[in-house]
């Protein structure tokens, strides 16, 4: 049953392999939990069994450490999907997981750094001598200028960039594509990279430019996600006033969204640019802005202080 459900998610829903792997681990843990409770199949599962699963995940046991609320919530989503799939396939008569809600993770607001700090990061990345510095600057300009995930940026082919229209085609989660505009700073940095740096990097490869990847490593192959993150972290180490441990692969994406909303962009537009399936995901950036406004008000208004 679990195998059929995972095949459905892979083929019909097109979920990413990392997501499938996480669901497989979650559902293996679920079947172990049911077996320990003496439940021998989905037809025997009661709502109380499903409801007890997230609590068991949060407690942990001799073989498993306690899970965070976020990880436990993901596991419950996987379990709810399994039971819904079994109902639609006619394998069970009712969906006992329908009313079980995932635990609510503590709200974590995205960490955005000020515009001047972003500029300092980009300048630091570009300060490296030779083709690598030109490439690193182009990468960070693209990440900040488009809101692309790091995985989307390193997955770009040269042909995904339309320099005439100043747009780039990004392949997001689940294989969903979106076309987003590329700002003039990012476009100039990429043009510079394509002329001055990419040919030199490509020449290091044994078989020319493999796969037409836009961003190449020093061996002429596609730049990896881990290398891109290292570029960002190394740039942060060169900049004073930025704690490198606070920089993550999503930092420039968070900055892109937060700075757009600070500048008056509609949340629906930002949703489309980020490739979020639901506007609820994007609305967290409006909370960031409200918190910043509250901080400015508290420190600036003569009647705000108590």
130-152, pLDDT tens digit by residue?
999 999 999 999 999 999 999 99
pTM above 0.85, yes or no: no
Q: What is the mean pLDDT of the chain?
A: 87
d(Cα 195, Cα 217) in Å, to the nearest integer?
16
Rg from Cα positions in the chain? 23
pLDDT band with cut points at 50, 70 and 90 for residue 263: confident
Residue of higher predicted confidence among 142 and 15:
142
Confidence class for position 286, pLDDT limits 50, 70, 90 = confident
Structural domain including 62 reads 2-88
Query: 75 with 6, same domain?
Result: yes
198 close to 216: Cβ distance less than 8 angstroms: yes
Written as six digits, the tokens of 97 are 């997981």
> What is the widest separation between alpha-carbon atoms in the chain?
68
pLDDT for 206: 62
CA–CA–CA angle 87, 91, 97 (5° rounding): 40
| pLDDT, tens digit (0-9, with 9 covering 90-100), for 63-91 | 889 988 888 888 999 999 999 999 998 88
- Do 122 and 73 fall within a single domain? no
Residues belonging to the active site: 149, 173, 250, 253, 276, 285
Say if 284 falls within a structural domain.
no
Contact predicate 170/152, CB 8 Å: yes
The pair of three-digit structure tokens given for residue 161, joined into one six-digit string:
């960039």
Per the listing, tokens 């997501």 go with: 19
- The alpha carbon of 14 is separated from its chain's Cα centroid by a whole number of angstroms, namely 17
Asked whether residue 199 is assigned to any structural domain, the reply reads yes
Q: What is the CATH number of the domain that holds 60?
A: 1.10.150
Residues 64, 154 within the same domain: no
Give me the count of residues in the chain.
Answer: 306
Nearest-angstrom CA–CA distance, 79 and 29: 10
Across the beta sheet with 177-181, the strand order is: 161-162, 167-171, 177-181
Is residue 264, in this structure, part of any structural domain at all? Answer: no
Cβ neighbours of residue 183 under 8 Å, at least 6 residues apart? Answer: 145, 146, 166
Question: Among residues 107, 113, 92, which one has the least CA distance to residue 47?
Answer: 92
């Amino acid at each position: 049953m679990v195998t059929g459900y995972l095949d459905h998610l892979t083929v019909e829903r097109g979920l990413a392999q990392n997501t499938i792997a996480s669901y497989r681990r979650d559902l293996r843990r679920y079947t172990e939990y049911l077996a320990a409770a003496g439940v021998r199949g989905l037809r025997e599962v009661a709502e109380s069994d499903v409801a007890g699963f997230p609590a068991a995940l949060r407690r942990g046991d001799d073989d498993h450490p306690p899970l965070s609320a976020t990880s436990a919530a993901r596991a419950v989503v996987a379990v709810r999907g399994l039971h819904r799939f079994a109902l639609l396939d006619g394998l069970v008569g009712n969906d006992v997981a329908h009313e079980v809600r995932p635990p609510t993770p503590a709200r974590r607001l995205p960490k955005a750094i000020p515009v001047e700090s972003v500029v300092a990061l980009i300048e630091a990345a570009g300060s490296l001598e030779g083709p690598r510095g030109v490439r690193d600057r182009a990468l960070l300009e693209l990440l900040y200028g488009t809101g692309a995930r790091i995985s989307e940026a390193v997955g770009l082919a040269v042909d995904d960039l339309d320099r005439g229209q100043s747009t780039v085609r990004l392949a997001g989660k689940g294989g969903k594509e979106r076309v987003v505009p590329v700002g003039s700073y990012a476009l100039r940095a990429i043009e510079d990279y394509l002329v001055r740096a990419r040919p030199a990097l490509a020449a290091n490869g044994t078989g020319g430019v493999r796969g037409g990847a836009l961003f190449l490593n020093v061996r002429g192959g596609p730049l990896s996600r881990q290398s891109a993150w290292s570029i960002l972290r190394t740039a942060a180490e060169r900049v004073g006033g930025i704690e490198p441990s606070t920089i993550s692969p999503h930092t420039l994406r968070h900055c892109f969204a937060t700075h757009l909303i600070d500048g008056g962009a509609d949340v629906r537009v930002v949703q489309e640019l980020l490739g979020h399936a639901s506007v609820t995901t994007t609305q967290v950036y409006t909370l960031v802005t409200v918190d910043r406004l509250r901080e400015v008000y508290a420190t600036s208004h003569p009647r705000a202080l108590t």
